[in-house]
Amino acid sequence: MKKVIILSLLVMLLLIPYVTSAEETEEVVENKEPVNLYLFMGATCHYCENFIEWLDTLDDNIRQRFNLVKIEVWKNASNSSAMDEVAEIMGDDSGSVPYIVIGDFSYIGFSEVDDSQIIIDAINEEYEKDTRNDVIVDNDINVQPLVEVEKEPEKVNPVVIIGIFAFIIIGGGALIFFANKKGL
């Protein structure tokens, strides 16, 4: 009987690590606040959409370092004026999108082949600064960012977890039953 109990406990101990968490483990995140990455964009701008799609492909360690703030300028006169004001402060010609601003860095246009590393470097550089620049906040420029509905993270189905635990308990019980029947 002792052998059966020890064997049952051993089987359950071996299975518990696979059941304890159905979610992926999260990476350690630094305690710094993300920087604002302002994207002045046109609603139907193909280059702007390519930039957004490229941002979505970045490694999570980079993506956690910035907040994307989308500012539509073709259909919003107030945002268009704000882009002109930001461009003047940054020393840029305004009028072209995508217009990307990260701290004291600004960039007009985007090509994944040519500009990817430049953008990543700007994100990392601003993120690592002790004193950050934010042209919109520092100059009290009023913008109306696009608001998007965020997806809720997927939740673990409790039925699956209960089913696994039930399997372990029933399997352990069956193991004990058959072990007793054989006289172990």
Same domain, 66 and 107: yes
Q: Is residue 151, in this structure, part of any structural domain at all?
A: no
Same domain, 129 and 39: yes
Both tokens of residue 169? 């308990």
Same domain, 45 and 134: yes
Distance CA 85, CA 143 (A): 11
Q: Is residue 114, in this structure, part of any structural domain at all?
A: yes
Same domain, 40 and 129: yes
Distance CA 65, CA 14 (A): 38
pLDDT of residue 111: 87
- Percentages (nearest 5) of helix, strand, coil residues in the chain: 50, 10, 35
pLDDT of residue 113: 83
pLDDT of residue 24: 44
Q: Is residue 42, in this structure, part of any structural domain at all?
A: yes
Please provide the average confidence, as pLDDT, over all residues in the chain: 82
Q: Is residue 79, in this structure, part of any structural domain at all?
A: yes
Q: What is the pTM of this model?
A: 0.64
Distance CA 82, CA 105 (A): 17
pLDDT of residue 28: 43
pLDDT of residue 21: 46
Same domain, 73 and 164: no
Is the pLDDT at 81 greater than 50, yes or no? yes
What percent of the chain has a predicted confidence (pLDDT) above 90?
A: 55
Domain count, the chain: 2
pLDDT of residue 4: 53
Same domain, 121 and 89: yes
Q: Is residue 148, in this structure, part of any structural domain at all?
A: no
pLDDT in tens, 104-113: 999 999 988 8
Task: Read off the CATH number of the domain in which 78 is found.
Answer: 3.40.30.10
Q: Which of 22, 41, 151 is nearest to 107 (CA)?
A: 41
pLDDT in tens, 6-62: 655 555 555 555 544 444 444 444 558 999 999 999 999 999 999 999 999 999 999
Is the pLDDT at 143 greater than 80, yes or no? yes
Q: Is residue 63, in this structure, part of any structural domain at all?
A: yes
Same domain, 76 and 112: yes
Pick 95 or 40 by higher pLDDT.
Answer: 40
pLDDT of residue 107: 94
Q: Is residue 150, in this structure, part of any structural domain at all?
A: no
Is the pLDDT at 99 greater than 80, yes or no? yes
- Residues spanned by the domain of 19: 2-23+156-182
Cβ distance 101 to 83 under 8 Å?
no
Is the pLDDT at 126 greater than 90, yes or no? yes
Same domain, 109 and 40: yes
